[in-house]
Structure 1
Amino acid sequence: NDGLVSTASMMMGVSAVKTDVKSMLLTGFAGLVAGASSMAIGEFVSVYSQVDVELAQTKRDRDKNGAGDEEGGGGRADKANDLPSPVQAAAASALTFAVGAVVPLLAAGFIRSYRVRLGAICAAVTLALLVFGLAGAKLGGVPVGRSAARVLVGGWMAMAVTYGMMKAVSAPVGF
């Protein structure tokens, strides 16, 4: 959802100022790269911090129970072998962001007409948001309609606010 909404919002925002397809696609691609990188770095740091805490706790448990005491520290030592991989978490985060970001890029990539391109982005993002909302509801065991509507309206709001703010900022201010 993050890659989808942020990339679509950036593309809609730049479209408020520039109507050419190249500007929109470059903005979307920059958003994909920056967002996927940011998500990966954030996930890497977060998971690595978690691993550090777990390893420190394992060391404290071993020190408390005695270095040679296999029974006392065995459970925690076994847990240390099952810690998550920061690299795998970072890669998964970057990949999921990029998959979402590709949706508006593909929707806009082959359309020359400005208005049709905006419509295609809105339609593709709407469909993807509904799918994400429905999937989240099913996985979470919550009412489908409310969940899908919440995800959809949130995505629409992000795109509309970005478009509107860029339109307002780019408007002549009288000097």
Structure 2
Amino acid sequence: MATLELEAASNQLRNNDVEQQIDQEIKVNYSQRAQWLRAAVLGATDGLVSTASLIMGVGAVRQDVKSMIVTGFAGMVAGACSMAIGEFVSVYSQYDIEVSEIKRQNKASVDDEKESLDESDKEDLPNPFKAAGASALSFVVGALVPLLSASFIKDYKVRLGVVIALSSLALLVFGGIGAVLGKSPLKRSSLRVLVGGWLAMGITYGLTKLIGLAGL
């Protein structure tokens, strides 16, 4: 009887350990997914604010739609490339550090790091190529909002108004998504992103206008 009770207790402990391990893996996977989503939202916000500010800056001295679109497109491509390269370098550095730590823990003796890591280790490592692609894609998604909103409107003042209006709406949406992922106050986070975007567009427009008036 005592043996059966010991076996039952042992099985219960094993089941509890398995359940705790599964719960921990779920939490880790959710945390990693949330981090990726939040990084994507931040990248999209960066693309939107940067491109909208460029369009507003050019619009301060040039009223033709072609100049605004070409500048916005160049800013989108340059920003996406910059984001991708920066994220690739950053994540690759993190990858090297984690690989070195795993090899120290496993006391690996082979030189080829791929041969010294098992499949579970590889799955947990960050992927620099995926990170670079996600950063570039999110930047482009955000940049397309002001770029497309300025593409089909001929009237100069209406064009600027539409860019500001649609960019503001998108900033509120991105700020709200970021607040949900970061579990922060929705209204405060959205307004913070919106005001930051307005400041960036306003400062860029104002300084470029001053340069234009100075004849530089």
TM-score range, shorter chain: 0.7 to 0.9
For residues 128 and 196 of structure 2, what CA distance do their matches in structure 1 show? 30
Give every structure 1 segment of 4 or more consecutive aligned residues whose post-TM-superposition deviation is greater than 3 Å.
74-78
Native 8 Å contact 2:103 2:117 kept in 1: no
Q: Write out per-residue CA displacement over residues 28-77 of structure 1, whole angstroms, 9 at most, x where no aligned residue.
A: 000100000000000100111111111122233344xx759xxxxx9998
Partner in structure 2 of residue 54 of structure 1? 98
Q: Write out per-residue CA displacement over residues 91-129 of structure 1, whole angstroms, 9 at most, x where no aligned residue.
A: 000000000000001100000110000001001101000
Amino acid at match of 1:7: T
Q: Which runs of 5+ in 1 are unaligned?
A: 69-73
User: What is the aligned counterpart of 1:93 among 132, 135, 143?
Assistant: 135
Q: Which has the higher contact order (CA 8 A, sep 6+)?
A: 1
Aligned residues: 167
User: What is the aligned counterpart of 1:122 among 146, 164, 175?
Assistant: 164
User: What is the aligned counterpart of 1:146 among 169, 188, 201?
Assistant: 188
Native 8 Å contact 1:58 1:80 kept in 2: no
Q: Which moved more, 1:138-147 or 1:122-131?
A: 138-147
For residues 24 and 17 of structure 1, what CA distance do their matches in structure 2 show? 10
Larger of the two Rg values belongs to structure: 2
CA RMSD of aligned residues (A): 2.2
Seq. identity, %? 59
For residues 113 and 6 of structure 1, what CA distance do their matches in structure 2 show? 23
TM-score by length of 2: 0.72
User: 2:86 aligned with 1:42, yes or no?
Assistant: yes
Secondary structure in structure 2 of the residue aligned to 1:109: coil
TM-score by length of 1: 0.88
